[in-house]
Structure 1
Amino acid sequence: MVKSILDSSKGNLNRSNAAAICLNILSNSDYRIRSTNDALARGKIKDARAWMSAALCYQYDCWSALKYVNDTKLVGETMAFLDSLTQHSSNALSMMVAYDNIGEDIAAWVPPKTERDGFYEKGSGGTELGFNGGLPSNLKTDVTVCKDGSGGCYKTVQEAVNAAPANAESTRRFVIYIKEGVYEETVRVPLDKKNVVFLGDGMGKTIIAGALNAGMPGLTTYETATVGVLGDGFMASGLTIRNTAGPDAHQAVAFRSDSDLSVIENCEFLGNQDTLYAHSLRQFYRKCRIQGNVDFIFGNSASVFQDCEILVAPRQVKPEKGENNAVTAHGRTDPAQSTGLVFQNCLINGTDEYMRYYYRKPKVHKNFLGRPWKEYSRTVFINCVMEALINPNGWMPWKGDFALKTLFYGEFGNSGLGSIPLNRVPWSTQIPPQHVHTFSVQNFIQGDQWIPTSS
Structure 2
Amino acid sequence: MASLLFLSVLTLTLYFSLFSASAASIPPEIHQACKATRYPETCESSLAQSARLPPKPTPLQIIQSSIRVSSENLKTAQSMVKSILDSSAGNLNRTTAAKNCMEGLHNSEYRISQTVDALPRGKMKDARVWMSAALLYQYGCWSGLKYANDTQLVNQTMSFLNTLVGYSSNALSMMVSYDVFGKETGSWGPPRTERTGFWESGGGGATELGFKGGVPSDLPADVTVCKDGSKGCYKTVQEAVEAAPENLPAGKRFVIRIKAGVYEETVRVPFEKRNVVFLGDGMGKTVITGSLNVGQPAKPGITTHNTATVGVDGDGFMASGLTIQNTAGSEGHQAVAFRSDSDLTIIENCEFIGNQDTLYAHSLRQFYKSCRIQGNVDFIFGNSASIFQNCTILVCPREVNADQGETNTVTAHGRTDPSQSTGFVFQNCLINGTEEYMASYHSNPEVHQNFLGRPWKEYSRTVFIDCNLGALIKPEGWMPWDGEFALETLFYGEFQNSGPGSNLSQRVTWSTRIPAEHANTYSVQNFIQGDQWIPTSS
Report the secondary structure of 1:404's partner residue: coil
CA contact (8 A) 2:203 2:518 kept: no
Corresponding residue number in structure 2 for 1:122: 201
Corresponding residue number in structure 1 for 2:73: none
Could you tell me how far apart the structure 2 residues matched to 1:39 and 1:125 are?
Answer: 28
Of residues 493, 496, 506, the one that matches 1:423 is: 506
Partner amino acid, structure 2, of 1:223: N
CA contact (8 A) 1:125 1:443 kept: no
Could you tell me how far apart the structure 2 residues matched to 1:144 and 1:32 are?
Answer: 32
Report the secondary structure of 1:290's partner residue: strand
Corresponding residue number in structure 2 for 1:83: 162
Query: 47-56 or 118-127, which moves further after superposition?
Result: 118-127
Query: 51-60 or 23-32, which moves further after superposition?
Result: 23-32
Report the secondary structure of 2:387's partner residue: strand
Structure with more relative contact order (C-alpha pairs < 8 Å, separation 6 or more): 1
Aligned in 2, Cα 1:92/1:156: closer, same or farther, shift over 3 Å? same
Could you tell me how far apart the structure 2 residues matched to 1:160 and 1:166 are?
Answer: 13
Matches within 5 A, 1:293-372: 293-372=376-455
Q: Give the C-alpha shift of residue 125 in structure 1.
A: 9.3
Partner amino acid, structure 1, of 2:334: Q
CA contact (8 A) 2:322 2:350 kept: yes
Give yes or no for the alignment of 1:228 onto 2:308. Answer: no
Give yes or no for the alignment of 1:290 onto 2:364. Answer: no
Q: Give the C-alpha shift of residue 124 in structure 1.
A: 9.4
Corresponding residue number in structure 1 for 2:128: 49
Partner amino acid, structure 2, of 1:17: T
Q: Give the C-alpha shift of residue 427 in structure 1.
A: 0.2
Corresponding residue number in structure 1 for 2:188: 109
Corresponding residue number in structure 1 for 2:494: 411
Corresponding residue number in structure 2 for 1:170: 250
Give yes or no for the alignment of 1:181 onto 2:264. Answer: no
Q: Give the C-alpha shift of residue 406 in structure 1.
A: 0.2
Matches within 5 A, 1:21-100: 21-100=100-179
CA contact (8 A) 2:379 2:409 kept: yes
CA contact (8 A) 2:330 2:355 kept: no
Give deviations 1:248-296, integer Å, cap 9, x for gaps: 2011000000010010000000000000000000000000000000000
Aligned in 2, Cα 1:384/1:269: closer, same or farther, shift over 3 Å? same
CA contact (8 A) 2:202 2:517 kept: no
Percentage of matched positions with identical amino acids: 73
Report the secondary structure of 1:116's partner residue: helix
Report the secondary structure of 2:231's partner residue: helix
Could you tell me how far apart the structure 2 residues matched to 1:349 and 1:187 are?
Answer: 29
Could you tell me how far apart the structure 2 residues matched to 1:46 and 1:268 are?
Answer: 30
CA contact (8 A) 1:124 1:443 kept: no
Could you tell me how far apart the structure 2 residues matched to 1:312 and 1:279 are?
Answer: 21
Corresponding residue number in structure 2 for 1:19: 98
TM-score (norm: length of structure 2): 0.81
Q: Give the C-alpha shift of residue 83 in structure 1.
A: 1.1
Matches within 5 A, 1:204-223: 204-215=284-295, 216-223=299-306
Could you tell me how far apart the structure 1 residues matched to 2:308 and 2:121 are?
Answer: 36
Q: Give the C-alpha shift of residue 123 in structure 1.
A: 6.6
Could you tell me how far apart the structure 2 residues matched to 1:42 and 1:378 are?
Answer: 29
CA contact (8 A) 1:123 1:444 kept: no
Give deviations 1:114-150, integer Å, cap 9, x for gaps: 0000100017999622200001122110000001111
Give deviations 1:38-89, integer Å, cap 9, x for gaps: 0111111111011111111110111111112243221122112101110000
Q: Give the C-alpha shift of residue 26 in structure 1.
A: 1.9
Q: Give the C-alpha shift of residue 198 in structure 1.
A: 0.3
Larger Rg: 2
Aligned in 2, Cα 1:132/1:210: closer, same or farther, shift over 3 Å? same
Could you tell me how far apart the structure 1 residues matched to 2:388 and 2:450 are?
Answer: 19
CA contact (8 A) 1:284 1:304 kept: yes
Report the secondary structure of 1:363's partner residue: helix
TM-score (norm: length of structure 1): 0.96
Q: Give the C-alpha shift of residue 28 in structure 1.
A: 2.3
Could you tell me how far apart the structure 1 residues matched to 2:427 and 2:411 are?
Answer: 14
Could you tell me how far apart the structure 2 residues matched to 1:51 and 1:70 are?
Answer: 29
Aligned in 2, Cα 1:57/1:189: closer, same or farther, shift over 3 Å? same
Could you tell me how far apart the structure 1 residues matched to 2:204 and 2:122 are?
Answer: 16
Could you tell me how far apart the structure 1 residues matched to 2:204 and 2:500 are?
Answer: 32
- Unaligned 5+ segments in structure 2 are 1-77, 79-90
Of residues 247, 250, 268, the one that matches 2:333 is: 250
Could you tell me how far apart the structure 1 residues matched to 2:500 and 2:95 are?
Answer: 52
Give deviations 1:393-440, integer Å, cap 9, x for gaps: 000000101000000000000000000010000000000000000000
Aligned in 2, Cα 1:36/1:291: closer, same or farther, shift over 3 Å? same
Give yes or no for the alignment of 1:394 onto 2:477. Answer: yes
Report the secondary structure of 2:505's partner residue: helix
- Unaligned 5+ segments in structure 1 are 3-11
Give deviations 1:6-65, integer Å, cap 9, x for gaps: xxxxxx953343333323322321221111010111111111011111111110111111
CA contact (8 A) 2:208 2:523 kept: yes
Could you tell me how far apart the structure 2 residues matched to 1:70 and 1:444 are?
Answer: 37
Query: 164-173 or 376-385, which moves further after superposition?
Result: 164-173
CA contact (8 A) 1:13 1:69 kept: no
Give yes or no for the alignment of 1:199 onto 2:282. Answer: no
CA contact (8 A) 1:36 1:48 kept: yes
Q: Which has the higher helix share?
A: 2
